[in-house]
Amino acid sequence: MITLNRFRWWELGYLYVLYLTAFPASERKPFGIILRMAKEGRADLWAIRSDGVLAGLAATVNGPEVVLLDYLAVSKKYRGWGIGTAALRTLMEQYSALFVEIESTYEPAANSTEREKRKQFYVNCGMVPLEVEADVFGVRMELLSHGCSMDFDGYRSFYREHYSPWAAEHIREVQP
């Protein structure tokens, strides 16, 4: 059985190491920002458990109507067991309007196969690709959503209002 619970302080070491190993440095914000935003109620940090065993993490940035799934990771030890799928579906039930950023599948990259698999994972879980691409701190991203639509201006506004105006200024539109 897969469950998502808000993290417990004693789990932070595990979640931090998973965060560092699951995401490239170019896509990671300082972990302290995630914790601060969770403490302020602007974000959630979820511990994903499989039959009670800590197996992954999810982090969201919460707006009143739309939520960004900022990070979703399952430990390598537990990948391929359906944990990520179950966790994403639980998040889609928890938040009626959810969107995610993924590395663009439209540009050549050394990890193109991995990017395509990631996109297919989200699509298979019911997320829909949006016609939005952006350069986010030098990383070309595309958006997918469940239960909402969004254009570039709405995306940038979400960052400005729910993350920080400074971050919003570092997001540039990319024409697909």
pLDDT, tens digit (0-9, with 9 covering 90-100), for 76-116: 999 999 999 999 999 999 999 999 999 999 988 888 899 99
Report pTM: 0.93
Express each pLDDT in 147-175 by its tens digit.
999 999 999 999 999 989 999 999 999 98
Count CB neighbours of 50 within 10 A: 19
Q: How far apart are CA 116 and CA 114, in angstroms?
A: 5
Q: Which residues contact 52 (CB under 8 A, 6 or more apart)?
A: 3
Centroid of chain to Cα 87: 12
CATH topology of domain 2-174: Aminopeptidase (3.40.630)
Q: Give me the mean pLDDT over the 41-69 stretch.
A: 95
pLDDT band at 176 (very low <50, low <70, confident <90, very high): low
Say which DSSP state 58 is in. Answer: E
